[in-house]
Structure 1
Amino acid sequence: MQNPKRKPFKIEPFKHRVEMDPKYADRTWKLIEHAIHEIYSHNASGLSFEELYRNAYNMVLHKFGDKLYTGLVTTMTKHLKDIALLIEAAQGGLFLEELNRQWADHNKALQMIRDILMYMDRTYVSNFNKTPVNELGLNLWRDHIVKIPKIRDRLLDTLLDLVHRERTGEIINRGLMRNIIKMLMELGASVYQDDFEKPFLDVTADFYRIESQQFIECCDCGDYMKKAERRLNEEIERVSHYLDPKSEVKITNVVEREMIANHMTRLVHMENSGLVSMLVDDKYEDLGRMHSLFRRVTEGLATIRDVMTSHLRETGKQLVTDQERLKDAVDFVQHLLDMKDKYDKIISIAFSNDKTFQNALSSSFEYFINLNTRSPEFISLFVDDKLRKGLKGVSEEDVEVVLDKVMMLFRYLHEKDVFEKYYKQHLAKRLLSGKTVSDDAERSLIVKLKTECGYQFTSKLEGMFTDMKTSRDTMQGFNTLLAASSEHNDGPSLAVQVLTTGSWPTQPGAVCNLPAEILAVCEKFRAYYLNTHTGRRLTWQTNMGTADLKATFGKSRRHELNVSTYQMCILMLFNSADYLSYKEIEQATDIPTADLKRCLQSLACVKGKNVLRKEPMGKDIDEEDMFHFNDSFTSKFFKVKIGTVTAQKESEPEKQETRQKVEEDRKPQIEAAIVRIMKARRVLEHNNIVAEVTKQLQTRFLPNPAVIKKRIESLIEREFLERDKIDRKLYRYLA
């Protein structure tokens, strides 16, 4: 049996309309309005917030949100106007306290009101693009409290006055200041900036403009900077206590401009206390403070750097051109090293190892060291002095430190090849006389020079050490042969260093007549050496040797004299003669005139070393002088070293000769560089050749453009290069 179909049913609306109480909205708003009054009157404890929330909810639900929102604005505005009157009425220091108290009460009231009207905030406000309750409360406070002229002007004046009083040493209520400033910040960035920050920065600029002028008139540079630093720190501290953190950059910029930037030129040039005075007196603390403050302003560090560079260059120029200083090469270089140490320490301690200051220091030293053409010679003499005499009471590490400092000066030299020329001469004398304090120190310096300038720069220097080692092996073989020989007797012994031509700074032709006893043993060595090494040739360099002589004075006083080979030749003449004239000595020895006079001067005119007597007495040697053996010579030492009287620095003719040799040595180096460049480029313009040759050779010397031009012309004559037929400044390489 089938079930009958059910008929669909329809729900009908109520036959009568639901009528809302027409006074519902007014009555409900009155309840909420009363609650707002109670909240502002501090009587909120008796209110039912749940009921108030429900009433506000229902008003929004029943489309009375606009009435609720408008009523809120009207009610809050009325209360804020009343509050404004209370704040205006506050007298003196109570003004800020009243403002702060009312602001705190307003925030509490706003929080309660927002809780009651939460549903309106979520729906009606967002749907109709109204201002949220909390923001509305802040805006109304801004418009009816902070922005009204009587309060706004008074508030600004009070805040600025408190800051001024704090700057002048008074203690203020920072907590109250923090709350008021925070209020301005919460009312919007524009309120804080327009109503406080901009006037605050203007007043600050005026304050520090006046104060800086007062300070600079009565303080020296060091004291002024201490005050400026203190003021800067105070402003930074002020920001941390009660200002917007974003204000820190702005306020520090004002202080930096008024106290530093506007006066920095006058500060660095202050007489007896400015930058130069600080540098001279090593005032690290003041220099560090100046660096710290000046780095904050545009061109601040450049100002310090320029004054330091100018002072350095002037001081250095005076040093390298001071004729008194130039009399002692070692003292001259020591002053350079002391100056370098001084400024290195200043840059390290006071200028935070600022790279730009280090570069300025290097460029200054490079400038004034090269003003003196004898700087390469003097630096080599300094090294010679230290490696001959040693550094008393110092370790090998300290020797390394000194060598590193010398290398720093070496890097500044434009004419490194001139240094090489002198260094080779001085090294040769040290090695041949056995006067070097440490082979390790000697080799260490050569390694440093090789690192700086390359293998070619030091290849001959290393060859000198190789020759010394080979010579020791050769002498060992020769002495063994002599010991085995039946002819060996108690005659003079010989120690020979065989030097490779080209590696050593020998002086061909500087020979003398050796005594017969010495000549005999020399011939034995020549025969031994040439028998061992065929195809070689020996030339005696008597100007570079030394000798130990046993001498008897009076009847029994014996001494061992350490003399040069030339001095030995002179002294041995007195074995067979009591008196000899200068002419007789010159004829017998054939020693060059200049060397002979220096040897005789050292043997007869140096107090405590005068193994000869000169007639007439005097410091200078004349061709009419007579000499005789000084039997009355005494010394408390058995071994007496007699040096040769000679100028530590080269004489002017010697200097010219060395310069000429250097210039001659440079010519093939310049030509080789030109050929290398042209071989790679094939075609090149004149100025570009000069630039590239200079770049290639600057590690050894700075070639003169005029010399480069002459070498180009020489290469054209020898058909390595040719000029372009159209452009005469263009050169072509001929393969």
Structure 2
Amino acid sequence: MNQRKKPFQIEAFKHKVVVDPKYAEKTWKILEHAIHEIYNKNSSNLSFEELYRNAYNMVLHKYGEKLYSGLVTTLTAHLKEISIHIEYNQGDSFLEELNQKWEEHNKALQMIRDILMYMDRTFVPGTHKTPVYELGLNLWRDYVIHSNGIQPRLQNTLLNLILKERTGEVINRGLMRNIIKMLMDLGASVYQEDFEKPYLEVSANFYRIESQEFIECCDCGDYLKKAERRLNEEIERVFHCLDLKSESKITKVVEREMIANHMSRLVHMENSGLVNMLLDDKYEDLGRTYNLFRRVDNGLCSIRDVMTSHIRETGKQLVTDPERVKDPVEFVQRLLDEKDKYDRIISLAFTNDKTFQNALNSSFEYFINLNPRSPEFISLFVDDKLRKGLKGVSEEDVEVVLDKVMMLFRYLQEKDVFEKYYKQHLAKRLLSGKTVSDDAERSLIVKLKTECGYQFTSKLEGMFTDMKTSQDTIQGFYASHGAELGNGPSLVVQVLTTGSWPTQPSVPCNLPAELSLLCEKFRSYYLGTHTGRRLSWQTNMGTADVKATFSKGQKHELNVSTYQMCVLMLFNNADKLGYREIEQATEIPAPDLKRCLQSLACVKGKNVLRKEPMSKDIGEDDVFLFNDKFSSKGLKVKIGTVVAQKESEPEKQETRQRVEEDRKPQIEAAIVRTMKSRKVLDHNNIIAEVTKQLQSRFLPNPVEIKKRIESLIEREFLERDSTDRKLYRYLA
């Protein structure tokens, strides 16, 4: 049989355990004595194991309250004595004594906490009392730090130490750091109320006074150096002595008192403010200004606004100065120099800040478009660089120049005007063979295509195609007619497609008989090989090489324009000709003929003709003679045509009129595209949408857009709404 086992059970004592009524008092006296010994630095004679056991037993026998209250009383008494002792110390020894007593108190607390560990773990949580170590800190705060004789002295002593350091004296940073750490250990509120708050108030007052003194006697650059130094000093002091959380607070005080409150006065300071820094390229001062002003609200805005205003004002003076615009190449070079200058400033001083770069771009866009001739001048600048080339520079340097020009091109609102002029200048370079290199020309066209699309450059690329085709054509002409041409004059013809090249009026000019015959042979050859085509001669765009013999058999090869050749060859049969005779024989238009004769007779070193009477201007009664005494060191002599670099006022008006005519179909196309997709749209929205579509090439005039809308209504592409005249409908 299985017997059931009785469960194991612990029974209570049969008799009551009697505790000595004086046990608690005796035990506490032992512990109290130990605390006194610890504070008196006699802890080496104590048995911490026995003390721990006594404290353990008191808690075990329900005397935890007596133990805890006795601890509070004993610690309080000791701290009151310590407080009085600290108060007796004067001068520098005050902080040293406070620091020493704090260290001793900390060590004592650690020993007491070890002895009372069991109370800390069981009694304290159950009764929601303060743990031993924290209790010791609180009592130190209440009876030492917050005592009437210590609290104000401690605050003033710490603030005076900081003031001494600010005025150049050396202080005991290690001692200060220990005292500040004590305040932090006593709690964030103690550190903030007893030190940080008055520290910030005193600092604000100090920097308010100092900044006023500095700004009265320093220029902007020196003031900012002092402000930067003060800011760095405060950051360093926080790092070495204070709570790291104080850094943002004290830097805000310095920033407010030394920068924000004087921001406007600093940037506008006479002879040393921001404008002077910009003018003199003071990168270090500008960088310091940027780094300090970025710390305060609206600081960078104030710098940016002053910079923008300055750039716009100087740029406006540059593009509207009558003296500056006399030389288009120098005009554009100044723009590029200004752009380089501010690009360097933004890069070196403003850390490539995008907002400053945008401000620079908007400023350039503003003032470049104040001068309606900017597109023409930029094209002339390109023409100068690609025609003459840059002396002593590589192709990479040419690329750099072209990239800079493209920056200016992006600012143009009337890119189609630039296109008009660029096409004319490119045509002259290609036809005269004066381009620096085809690679450079094509590189710029690629850049323009990337910027504005294929449509912008399609005709420019067609010009290069025509030049290549013309080489093949002239080779074919000489291959088929070489034998019959003999040793007469040679002819090189560029056949240009009307749609790709700038439209030029067909200017009449009577060519010498031998050349006229050669031209007719080429015409017959070309029209015989190409059906349905028409040729018209552009003699105003040609050049010629003429061999001339002067006195004593001296021979030179003259490089001249076609017009100049026609004039010179008249002197094969005459030694003396009047202006009217030359005009009648050549039928060259009067303005062109006068420039032609001026270059042949009035330019020193190139005067193969003589003029009577001698003067710089050409009159209708002037007489011209072959200058038999002409001489030159070189065998080849290039005689340029005296011609204005810029367009004359009538030419400018004509170009503007052609541009306006070219814009009309573009505006109409944009209107139709918009209406085709939207079907119904009001007037203001059409204006906005068309402007948005075309602004990459030009900014259309709202009045012109309205005229184009009226034209489309007349041609029944659009119609007005019957009830709302400002509403338009697309007619499919």
| TM-score bucket (shorter structure) | over 0.9
1:506 to partner: Cα distance: 3.4
TM-score normalised by length of structure 2? 0.99
Percent of aligned pairs with the same amino acid: 80
Q: Is the 8 A contact 2:506 2:536 kept in 1?
A: no
Give 1:481 deviation, angstroms: 1.9
1:663 maps to 2:666: no
Alignment partners' CA distance in 1, 2:11 and 2:591: 144
- What secondary structure sits across from 2:571 in the alignment? helix
Query: Among 575, 581, 599, which residue is 2:572 paired with?
Result: 575
Residue in structure 2 matched with residue 283 of structure 1 by the alignment: 282
* Root-mean-square deviation over aligned CA pairs: 1.5
Partner of 1:36: 35
Match of 2:111 in 1: 112
**Match for residue 176 of structure 2?**
177
Which among 468, 471, 493 is matched to residue 496 of structure 1? 493
590, 599, 602: which one pairs with 1:602?
599
Partners of 1:293 and 1:247 in 2: CA distance: 19
* Counterpart position of 1:459: 458
Alpha-carbon shift at residue 13 of structure 1 (Å)? 6.4
Q: d(CA) in 2 for partners of 1:122 and 1:7?
A: 37
1: CA distance, partners of 2:488 / 2:2: 157
Partner of 1:387: 386
Structure 2: runs of 5 or more not aligned: none
The equivalent residue for 2:671 is 674
- Per mean C-alpha deviation after superposition, the further-off stretch among 507-516 and 628-637 is 507-516
1:10 CA displacement: 10
Q: Post-superposition shift, 1:508?
A: 2.5
In structure 2, C-alpha distance between the alignment counterparts of 1:131 and 1:359, rounded to whole Å: 61
Alpha-carbon separation, structure 1, partners of 2:694 and 2:7 = 112
- What secondary structure sits across from 1:580 in the alignment? strand
Separation of aligned partners in 2, 1:6 and 1:519: 143
Q: Which runs of 5+ in 1 are unaligned?
A: none
Shift of 1:502: 1.4
Q: Which residue of 2 aligns with 1:558?
A: 555
Query: Structure 1 residue aligned with 2:681, among 675, 681, 684?
Result: 684
Which secondary structure does the structure 2 equivalent of 1:548 belong to?
A: strand
From 585, 590, 593, give the equivalent of 2:590: 593
2:352 equivalent in structure 1: 353
Contact residue 264 and residue 300 of structure 1 kept, 8 A: yes
Q: What one-letter code is carried by the residue in structure 1 that aligns with 2:380?
A: L
Q: Which amino acid aligns with 2:499?
A: G
Distance 1:126 1:57 in 2: 15
Candidates 512, 518, 521, aligned match of 2:518: 521
Letter in 2 for 1:631: D
2:362 matched to which residue of 1? Answer: 363
Are 1:226 and 2:225 matched, yes or no? Answer: yes
2:149 pairs with 1:150: yes
The answer to whether structure 1 residue 718 and structure 2 residue 715 are counterparts is yes
Q: 1:8 offset after TM fit, Å?
A: 12
Equivalents in 2 of 1:10, 1:720: separation in Å? 109
1:89-147 Cα shifts (integer Å, max 9, x gaps): 11111110010000000000000000000000000001111100000000000000111
Aligned to 1:68: 67
2:20 is matched by which residue type in structure 1? D
Tell me, in whole angstroms, the C-alpha distance in 1 between the residues paired with 2:140 and 2:468.
98
Question: Could you say if the C-alpha distance between residues 4 and 477 of structure 1 is closer, same or farther in structure 2, counting changes exceeding 3 Å?
Answer: closer
Work out whether residues 506 and 537 of structure 2, in 8 Å CA contact, stay in contact via their aligned partners in 1.
no
Q: Which of the residues 631, 634, 643 maps onto 2:631?
A: 634
Partner of 1:575, secondary structure, is coil
Is the aligned partner of 1:21 residue 2:49?
A: no
Q: CA deviation at 1:511?
A: 2.4
Distance in structure 2 (CA, Å) of the matches to 1:424 and 1:608: 33
Deviates more, 1:14-23 or 1:33-42: 14-23
In the alignment, the residues of structure 2 paired with residue 396 and residue 596 of structure 1 have an alpha-carbon distance, to the nearest angstrom, of 38
CA distance in 1, matches of 2:369, 2:10: 113
SS of the residue corresponding to residue 547 of structure 2 reads strand
Match of 1:696 among 684, 693, 698: 693
Shift of 1:6: 11
Once the 2 structures are TM-superposed, how far is the Cα of residue 586 of structure 1 from its aligned partner? 0.7
Paired with 2:2 and 2:572, the residues of 1 have a C-alpha distance of 165
Aligned-residue offset at 1:490:
1.3
Cα distance in 2 for residues equivalent to 1:660 and 1:3: 126
Q: 1:7 to 1:636 in 2, by over 3 A?
A: closer
Code of the residue aligned with 2:707 in structure 1: it is K
| Distance (Å, rounded) in 2 between the aligned partners of 1:120 and 1:479 | 119
Corresponding residue for residue 338 of structure 1: 337
**Displacement after TM superposition at 1:7 (Å):** 11
Q: Which amino acid in 2 is paired with 1:575?
A: N
Aligned to 2:268: 269
Q: 2:532 aligned with 1:535, yes or no?
A: yes
The answer for the alignment partner of 1:425 in structure 2 is 424
Following TM superposition, by how much is the alpha carbon of 1:527 offset from its aligned partner in structure 2, in angstroms?
A: 1.1
For 1:703 and 1:617, how far apart are their aligned partners in 2? Answer: 51
In the TM superposition, what are the counterparts of 1:294-313 in structure 2 within 5 Å?
A: 294-313=293-312
What TM-score, normalized by structure 1, do the two folds share? 0.98
Cα displacement string for residues 346-373 of structure 1 (whole angstroms, at most 9, x for unaligned residues):
0000000000000000000000000000
Judge conservation of contact 1:679–1:733 (CA < 8 Å) in 2: yes
| 1:264 CA displacement | 1.1
The question of 1:505 aligning with 2:509 is answered no
| 1:314 aligns to 2:293 (yes or no) | no
Check whether the contact 1:471–1:498 (CA below 8 A) recurs between aligned residues: yes
CA contact (8 A) 1:506 1:541 kept: no
Count matched residues. 732
| 2:727 partner amino acid | L
2-side partners of 1:230 and 1:503: how far apart? 65
Post-superposition CA distance 1:26-67 (Å, at most 9, x none)? 000000000000001111110000000000000000000000
Deviation at 1:579, TM superposition (A): 1.1
How far, CA to CA, are the matches of 1:672 and 1:143 in structure 2? 86
Distance 1:261 1:719 in 2: 64
Q: Does 1:101 align with 2:100?
A: yes
| 1:431-452 superposed Cα distances (whole Å, 9 cap, x missing partner) | 0000001000000000000111
